[in-house]
Amino acid sequence: MLKQRLSQKMLQKLSPQQIQLMKLLQIPTATLDQRIKEELEANPALDEGEENELSEIYDLENESKEDDDEFELDDYLNEYIEDDPTLYRLTGEKFVSEEETKKMPIAVSDTFHEYLEAQLGMQEIEDDRKMIIAKQVIGSIDADGYLRRDAFSIIDDLLFSQNVVATETEIEQTIKMVQTFDPPGICSRSLQESLINQLSQKESNSNEPIIKRARMNALKILMNHFSEFTKKHYKKLQKNLFLSEYELKDAINEILKLNPKPASGHVQNISNSNQYIVPDFIITNREGEIELILNSKNAPDLMINDNYLDMLKSFKVNTSGRRASAKEKEAIMFIKQKIDSAKWFIDAIKQRQDTLYNTMYSILQFQYDFFTTGDERRLKPMILKDIAEITGLDISTVSRVANSKFVQTEFGTKRLKDFFSESLQTQDGKEVSTLEVKNILSDIIAKEDKRKPLSDEKLKDFLQEKGYNIARRTVAKYREQLNIPVARLRKEI
């Protein structure tokens, strides 16, 4: 049986403009230019201002929304002509000057895959078909220098993309050929294979008996006892290979000289070429006074395209004393939509700048001791809620600002999220930042005897001796956050 009933619910819905604003907040400075270019291409009413031109930011009142039935052409035209859209601009204020901005030079050179293909050109390849197979294998090598795709996947790739039928034997022969290229260890299917290939080339180039023996022992370890090596079961390795402690140490040192990521040795590796950090904020110390400025790329020079104002004036003249036709109304509504969209985008960018500046200024005031000294021990415990309460912003908004944003200081460029940390209580009741505890933990581990690395329990005892009230499981958590392995894997001989 069907029944009808009324109920009330409290729902909060975000408008498309609010959603776009949140997305703009998440965009770092490095990619903001691209977002603005997309908007400029999509909206002809939005235009870039003249270079180096400075003007005020005009806060215009939002025009009243009228229904289509109540639309009056003369009122609308007068409103937009009096409210000059060309004055609606966004330019730099409290931002770094153009004189202080510097463009990062970009080196032009071959990519890593081009470097491998250049070596391929020096090989004696019988026909074009085998050259296509070789290029397909090289193109399948990832940024670390490894071949992650198996032979059958490469065969499928060749069939679908190049219409070339290849056999598994041909693929394996091609892989063996590419593995002889520089850098050593390239085109391997696993870390073990890469290290073996690197060491095999080194062993054949050695004439000194001591080094040659060490490399032979290292090769045996990699080929037959790789699991024990990765787990640092050194006693077991000594027993199985009948090596003295010094012989094992020499062999291990030869392995440690190898490159676990063969492609990283190439300067223009495509995974790390042109990876520059563009700071969103710049903090300078001018004779003891801390100054915060936004990167100039956060302050684009935007304005309403004055051609659209000319169109409105033209409509004003042409429709004077008569009622506008349906086509004229449609054209004016199109112009209104584009101008409104451009105004909103300029407002959104301005609101983004204000939100970024206010959030960073609050962080600066909260962590003032750090920004004046650069001493990370002066960092106070600070969570998102602290900054949200100071700025009056929502916690999610502060999180969006802190995520993927950087600040340039005289002590280096820092991530904003690195300034946030929880608190830990010392034995005398004082609250300190967990960042301070992590730094001390790192120092203790760096100075430990690697022959007998400290367990988490002993690390806890050291920290408690320094006055920090901390549990063993908390030490383990901080150690994992610092990407420091357990004591057994830190052991050296």
**What is the per-residue pLDDT for 448?**
87
Long-range contacts of range 250-253, CB-CB < 8 Å, 24 or more positions apart?
A: 250/210, 250/213, 250/214, 250/217, 251/214, 251/215, 251/217, 251/218, 251/221, 252/218, 252/221, 252/493, 253/214
**What is the per-residue pLDDT for 3?**
65
Q: Which of 188, 182, 196 is nearest to 144 (CA)?
A: 188
Assess whether pLDDT exceeds 70 at residue 261.
yes
Most confident of 15-29, 36-50, 69-83, 339-353: 339-353
Mean pLDDT value across the chain: 78
CB-side neighbour CA atoms (13 Å) of 25: 25
Assess whether pLDDT exceeds 80 at residue 268.
no
Dist. CA 355–CA 369, nearest whole Å: 23
**What is the per-residue pLDDT for 66?**
40
Dist. CA 284–CA 488, nearest whole Å: 44
**What is the per-residue pLDDT for 109?**
57
Q: What is the band of 56 on the pLDDT scale with cuts at 50, 70, 90?
A: very low
Assess whether pLDDT exceeds 90 at residue 210.
no
47-56, 57-66, 178-187: least confidently modelled range: 57-66
Q: Do the bridges between strand 406-409 and strand 281-286 make them parallel or antiparallel, or are there none, so unpaired?
A: parallel
Assess whether pLDDT exceeds 50 at residue 59.
no
Q: What's the gap between Cα 341 and its chain centre?
A: 30
Domain architecture of the chain: domains with CATH: 17-50+70-94+294-396 (no CATH), 112-272 (no CATH), 421-490 (1.10.10.60)
Cα-only R_g, the chain: 32
Dist. CA 187–CA 463, nearest whole Å: 45
Between the alpha carbon of residue 63 and those of residues 90, 281, 337, the distances in Å are 19, 34, 12
Dist. CA 68–CA 309, nearest whole Å: 22
Q: What is the band of 206 on the pLDDT scale with cuts at 50, 70, 90?
A: low
Q: What is the band of 71 on the pLDDT scale with cuts at 50, 70, 90?
A: very low
Residue 143 carries which DSSP code? Answer: T
Query: CA angle at residue 397 from 391 to 402, to 5 degrees?
Result: 90
Report which of residues 479 and 85 the model is more confident about. 479
Residue 303 carries which DSSP code? Answer: E
Omega before residue 183 within 30° of 0, cis: yes
Dist. CA 199–CA 193, nearest whole Å: 10
39-43, 66-70, 84-88: least confidently modelled range: 66-70
Residues of the chain with pLDDT > 90, as a percent, come to 11
Per-residue pLDDT tens digits for 112-149? 888 898 898 888 887 888 999 999 999 899 888 999 88
Per-residue pLDDT tens digits for 370-383? 888 888 778 888 88
Non-local CB neighbours of 264 within 8 Å, separated by 6+ positions: 144, 145, 272
**What is the per-residue pLDDT for 203?**
65
The one-letter code for the residue type at 314 is S
Dist. CA 239–CA 250, nearest whole Å: 16
Between the alpha carbon of residue 311 and those of residues 45, 80, 317, the distances in Å are 11, 11, 10
Helix (H, G, I), strand (E, B) or coil at 55: coil
Report which of residues 280 and 207 the model is more confident about. 280
**What is the per-residue pLDDT for 205?**
64
Dist. CA 404–CA 382, nearest whole Å: 18
**What is the per-residue pLDDT for 62?**
36
